[in-house]
Structure 1
Amino acid sequence: MRALHRHQLPQSNGITLLTDSGLETTLIFHEGLELPLFASYPLLETVEGRSVLRTYFERHLAIAADHGTGFLLEAPTWRASRDWGRQIGHSPADLKQLNEAAIALLADIRRGSETVSPVVISGNIGPRGDGYQPDLAMTADEAEAFHAEQIGWFAQTEADMVSAFTISTVNEGVGIIRAAAAAGMPSVVSYTTETDGRLPDGTPLGEAFEQTDMLTAGAAAYFMVNCAHPDHFRIALESDAAWLKRVWGVRANASRLSHAELDEAENLDPGNPAELGRDYAQLKRLLPNLRVYGGCCGTDHRHVEAIADCCVSREHA
């Protein structure tokens, strides 16, 4: 599989892409691994860890091969930013090397993928603080300055884009998009919601997308929603608002539990893969440009396969 032209995004041309599922919850609850502060990027430090990550991604790529779609490889770098890295014991120099190693691993996986095309590589960015809580109130300028470091590292690699997941405030989303634009990288911001379809700081989902586009002159390639069950945000999509056309991707949770309940849960709630697939089919009817399908907390390859069965097979039938 040859690399894309620099920063070419086939999803911008309507190409359907599958992506992966709940990486961290899969590694913790199914693989029995301990991830410090829910961070998977330290696995890149060892041969064994890189093998675990490769197996995980290749398992999902096989689903894309079966359904005739492209694939979006998200780097295991959601926690690989300065503040989280410091708590885990990594210096900025360490983090730079590990972010680069993450993209190198995905690039190697892409080169070896003969049955899936196109394959897009994304540098994955997480919130500076707790994604479930707007606990670190930043201005957009502060968010831009903070996230510019990790985005700058990605800009020097084979990453085609950057994606920020589980973002809980508009200011942080705006800062990330501005930092990516300054680095010449296409960007995607994915907001999370509580059970009422609002961001953790209370902003209605649609208003968050509208404000973000207004404050960035529409610079994001597109938007996504993640880390919430479809039941939590479906009501926010039941309108004919223009912003719905900007939401191209969903990575939902398997569980209907709230963020607070998930934080306290000692066991994994995997929900029902087939039911989640049907939920995505409903979302597809509400989101006219939905074309990136994956999962978040509690999901694994079974959920992605069920989603593909409900949303992609019909599309290509």
Structure 2
Amino acid sequence: MRYWWVNQNQTYKHEVPGGFLWSPKVNRNGSRNQFYVNMTEVAPGDLILSFCDTRIKAIGIATGPAVSADKPDFGSAGAYWEKEGWFVPAEFEVVSDPVRPKDFIADLLPHLRGKYDPLQRSGDGNQGVYLAEVSEGFVRVILGRMGTTLEAVVANEVNIGDADDDREEVALEGRTDIGETQKRQLVQARRGQGIFKANVRLNEKRCRLTGITDQTLLIASHIKPWSKSSDFEKLDGCNGLLLSPHVDRLFDRGLISFDDDGTVLRSRLVAADIWPAWGLHAVANVGTFSSKQSSYLAYHRKHLFKPG
């Protein structure tokens, strides 16, 4: 994990609710800008501190790498920026009590690095900064002032499994040890389609939580993530459940899981009103699982489930 500070004085109201960062690629005169180059170094899972109006107002997690993209609709902001720039997807959580780094600059000074720091030694922001890398120690001081820890933030980070899957799919396409038919089957399995869904349907007939049986409305969801599975596990019907889309979302993000006896495990990271709103509050047990399914569920509980 790397750590970034993004200055969003002009774009906070667009980027934070929109779930992204965007910058030009170069300065207006065509010269190199390190704060724009930094966009290309962001990786899924990196932590981002959102700075606006002298305060850290939100904490984000990058959910994908930078891609070239046209400038979003920022309204009057950035009218002079070039049309094409760098786009980084990220999910932000607005903090309830924004902190002003200048108020505790003495604690941050030991963690400043030099030329590309986002703050001056006075605590004022450095002009021209968009995205700056900061140290882990710097982040820990900021989060401490917010009353939380880096570990707590990471434990609650958004799912980045899609990025892992993207990398695995690229690697899969380049393999020479398997034929095109098997490649196609494995890629279809990532999307819950093809032979994988057929195999899952041999074991599961409905969404265990909602009771829906219409196969056209159900997702064949991997228990052990596709990107972490072997070729056999990617297609193994015992490594899957048929889930309604909203349940699949929770399961994929580790916000719900199951014991081998069918007991439903709900993460405390999910707001309490979500469960009744989605009709999931009254389901305590969904029935037992086979021994093969249980081995995959053990992986899910250990590596994905986030009790909170």
TM-score bin (small chain)? under 0.3
- The higher-RCO structure (CA 8 Å, 6+ apart) is 1
Relative to the length of structure 1, the TM-score reads 0.24
Relative to the length of structure 2, the TM-score reads 0.25
Structure with the bigger percentage of strand? 2
Is the radius of gyration larger for structure 1 or structure 2? 2
Structure with the bigger percentage of helix? 1
